[in-house]
């Protein structure tokens, strides 16, 4: 029996299918004693809120957040959105689900994306920066991990291959910016674009879903990326200190503001360009992800998107 996907669920549907438990908690009733279970249930197509009213203490002890569970229940509408009323839940055996139902992949051919990435590297003329890029992208193990890695846990490019896809997208944007502003150092822009998120290889881990590693939560991909690049620079003979500082600055500042995790804010034109290119590629892809998930729902607007404090127009006809 094929899996029932989140985006296909409609109020009135009966459900008997596996889901990944991305969030789980017991909540007290407001007007009576006892608790109910609040869940976020996910697959590669999206996430649906779940709630279990009865026997929750017994059920709570049988599975953990991050488990794949078999859910039986029904879909109702709550505050204009589908909600899954869970009647029974149990942990799935490994042969009861297909991993591909929970891990979306890129729509782009990774071989073609890698070819584009290597073409960008060929454009870099400064020998030390070229050597820095070769340090990473001539390493077969690094390239394999980089090509398969997600770009984020749950926001933009949160699918297998998303990191490579995002990296190529940011580089293309920066090359277009450099055509409009030829005074920008193209070698620094390309190097910054190709290396800005390599720390996500240490920040994120992939199993049945995407999650943060302990070191990813404690340190973060920006600092990890800086450590990886600094270690690589130390292995390159006569790497100019000022150039090293400029590259580390563009990487450390690419989130733009300290409240968004940037240890330092952009202080060069190239760092400013990378920050906005990173945001542009990430935000447009996120919007499209929401639109794709809402396709066929019949809704003209998405659910409220906390990341942007707004609804997103889906464009579905009535």
CATH number for the domain including 272? 1.10.3210
| pLDDT surpasses 60 at 318 | no
Write out the residue range of the structural domain in which residue 23 sits.
6-101
- Could you tell me if 212 and 182 lie in one domain? yes
- Could you tell me if 128 and 89 lie in one domain? no
pTM of the model: 0.80
Q: What is the CATH number of the domain that holds 90?
A: 2.40.50.140
**pLDDT above 70: percentage of residues in the chain:** 99
List of residues 6+ apart from 136 with CB closer than 8 A: 142, 146, 195, 198, 228, 232
176 part of a folded domain:
yes
Least confident segment among 34-48, 73-87, 263-277, 294-308: 294-308
Distance CA 111, CA 28 (A): 51
- Could you tell me if 234 and 138 lie in one domain? yes
75 part of a folded domain:
yes
187 part of a folded domain:
yes
Q: Which of these, 148, 135, 240, 139, lies nearest to 191 by C-alpha position?
A: 135
- Could you tell me if 119 and 264 lie in one domain? yes
Q: Using one digit for the tens of pLDDT, what is the confidence trace for 93-105?
A: 988 998 889 888 8
318 part of a folded domain:
no
The reported pLDDT for the residue numbered 317 is 59
Domain count, the chain: 2
The reported pLDDT for the residue numbered 113 is 97
**pLDDT above 90: percentage of residues in the chain:** 76
146 part of a folded domain:
yes
144 part of a folded domain:
yes
């Amino acid at each position: 029996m094929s899996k029932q996907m989140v985006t296909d669920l409609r109020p009135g549907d009966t459900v008997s299918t596996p889901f990944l438990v991305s969030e789980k908690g017991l909540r007290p009733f407001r007007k009576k004693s006892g608790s109910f279970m609040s869940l976020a249930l996910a697959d590669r197509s999206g996430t649906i809120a779940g709630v279990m009213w009865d026997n929750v203490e017994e059920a709570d002890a049988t599975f953990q957040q991050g488990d794949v569970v078999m859910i039986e229940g029904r879909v109702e509408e709550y505050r204009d959105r589908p909600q899954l009323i869970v009647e029974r839940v149990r942990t799935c055996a490994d042969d009861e689900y297909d991993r591909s139902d929970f891990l979306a992949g890129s729509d782009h051919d990774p071989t073609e994306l890698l070819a584009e990435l290597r073409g960008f590297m060929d454009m870099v003329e400064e020998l030390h920066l070229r050597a820095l890029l070769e340090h990473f992208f001539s390493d077969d193990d690094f390239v394999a991990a980089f090509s398969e890695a997600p770009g984020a846990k749950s926001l933009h490019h949160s699918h297998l291959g998303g990191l490579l896809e995002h990296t190529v997208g940011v580089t293309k944007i920066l090359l277009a910016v450099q055509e409009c502003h030829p005074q920008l150092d193209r070698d620094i822009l390309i190097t910054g674009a190709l290396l800005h998120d390599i720390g996500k290889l240490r920040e994120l881990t992939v199993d049945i879903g995407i999650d943060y590693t302990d070191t990813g939560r404690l340190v973060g991909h920006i600092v990890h990326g800086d450590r990886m690049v600094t270690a690589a620079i130390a292995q390159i003979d006569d790497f100019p200190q000022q150039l090293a500082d400029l590259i580390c600055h563009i990487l450390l500042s690419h989130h733009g503001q300290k409240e968004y995790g940037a240890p330092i804010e952009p202080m060069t034109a190239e760092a400013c360009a990378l920050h906005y290119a990173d945001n542009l590629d990430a935000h447009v892809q996120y919007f499209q992800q929401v639109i794709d998930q809402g396709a066929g729902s019949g809704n003209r607007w998405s659910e409220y998107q906390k990341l942007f404090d707004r609804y997103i127009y889906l464009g579905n006809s009535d």
